[in-house]
A = this chain, B = another copy of it.
Amino acid sequence: MAENKIPYKIYLDENEIPKQWYNVRADMKNKPAPLLNPQTHKPLKAEELYPIFCKELVAQELNDTDAYIDIPEEIQDFYKMYRPSPLIRAYFLEKALDTPAKIYYKFEGNNTSGSHKLNSAIAQAYYAKKQGLKGVTTETGAGQWGTALAMACSYFGLDCKVYMVKVSYEQKPFRREVMRTYGASVTPSPSTTTEVGRKILEAHPGTSGSLGCAISEAVEVATKTEGYRYVLGSVLNQVLLHQSVIGLESKAALDKYGVKPDIIIGCAGGGSNLGGLISPFMGEKLRGEADYRIIAVEPASCPSFTRGKFAYDYCDTGMVCPLAKMYTLGSGFIPSANHAGGLRYHGMSSTLSQLYHDGLMEATSVEQTAVFEAAEKFARVEGILPAPESSHAIRVAVDEALKCKETGEEKTILFGLTGTGYFDMVAYQKFNDGEMSDYIPTDEELQKGFDGLPKVD
């Protein structure tokens, strides 16, 4: 290994952390369709979003013309706490696979939230603070977003109210405790603290909750409590904008060594990690400056890209949020209990949906047993225990590298390793005990979700 010129880990200098986010929408010929008012089905005006989101974040949400947006200095300072994140050359994995492919991954798990979520959490907390708010509300499923937001709010002295899907609240007490350690209040959802929560509990007394319900509770509290707004960790344009630091750093690190990836791979739930990782590369592609093969990887149990419809849909099951045009399984689709909680969302970022629709990226789906096989192999040779979500990207990166072994091609593969799996050991245990099963929804099951799509002219 000593003879390799490219180090195992490429760290940028601190002054090379991006000072501007990149807004890929500015370079898109076909812009993502606008958000619609869920009642009137008319495009939403900024003012209509102010009761839910901070003003500056609304501006970012709607901005599809400025390619670069300055990162405020306070956020740049916070980024120095855990960024730049390393771009790692997977020498050990390449050797284990005996592949001529060159594999790189951007590791975003080296912070206490355990994932890339902190990149947007700190931005959203900053704008809330700047607007003079008292606090923010949000929902969390797997818990990485909630943890990231708790950390960000603690830094700016904001109150943070997290609605955590009840089943996760009970099964992941340690995640909950990390959030509490950072000063957040964590409420199992559905709860009796909201109108929508009480209604759901009345209708379904034994329910273990869902992300859609938790969103509705968090939105209700934000809109009804003075000095509070709601924040979201994925799907939204603003989140992809903040997450562009992943791709910008990756590109800067590769450029230092004159490396161009052939294939870029990311897991896709709501799209925050994938959108962030690919954005500057997609920008080059949109401007005709370079070409890349870009692959979104989703769980076979929740296949929005690969089996969903490109249509307007509700972002939440409570149907209180704006309508977004996206690849969706329908807001009524209940994903099976796949262990990659972060990928169990019925829809997909509007921006990524448009890019996929326009043929600028591919998508594929994988089953969870195959995902954990790749995760364990990766952990053993690369030393990092990956999150189940991230392992979807690992699976496809490994498969592409094995194809190179067959063909002898020396392709360069870049994938996003979004986080660590320390709080997912229940899933690893199932895998270690041979008790993990796969599940693929039938066409009939998917049809039920599609039947609930709103009719938009």
Residues in A lying within 8 Å of B, measured CB to CB:
1-2, 7-9, 11, 13-14, 73, 76-77, 80-82, 92, 110-112, 114, 151, 154-155, 173-174, 177-178, 180-183, 376, 379-385, 420, 422-423, 425-426, 428-429, 432
* Residues of chain B contacted by A381 (CB below 8 angstroms): 155
Provide the bound-state CA to CA distance between A429 and B173, in Å: 9
A429 partner, pick from B114, B154, B177, beta carbons under 8 A: B177
Q: Is the CB of B423 within 8 A of A178?
A: no
* Residues of chain B contacted by A382 (CB below 8 angstroms): 81
Distance of A390 from chain B, by nearest CB (Å)? 13
Distance of A174 from chain B, by nearest CB (Å)? 4
Q: Is the CB of A425 within 8 A of B178?
A: yes
Provide the bound-state CA to CA distance between A199 and B14, in Å: 58
24 A–B contacts, CB within 8 A, in A order: A2-B77, A7-B13, A7-B80, A8-B80, A8-B81, A9-B14, A81-B92, A110-B110, A111-B383, A111-B384, A112-B383, A114-B422, A151-B380, A151-B383, A155-B381, A173-B429, A174-B174, A174-B425, A178-B422, A178-B428, A180-B428, A180-B432, A182-B380, A422-B422
Identical subunits present: 2
Provide the bound-state CA to CA distance between A380 and B92, in Å: 35
Q: Is the CB of B422 within 8 A of A380?
A: no
* Residues of chain B contacted by A181 (CB below 8 angstroms): 376, 379, 385, 428, 432
Q: Is the CB of B82 within 8 A of A383?
A: yes
A422 partner, pick from B77, B423, B428, B432, beta carbons under 8 A: B423
4 further A-B contacts with Cβ under 8 Å, apart from A1-B77, A111-B383, are A81-B382, A112-B420, A114-B422, A174-B422
Provide the bound-state CA to CA distance between A114 and B112, in Å: 12
Closest to A92 in B: B81
Distance of A129 from chain B, by nearest CB (Å)? 15
Provide the bound-state CA to CA distance between A308 and B8, in Å: 45
Provide the bound-state CA to CA distance between A110 and B13, in Å: 18
Provide the bound-state CA to CA distance between A432 and B180, in Å: 7
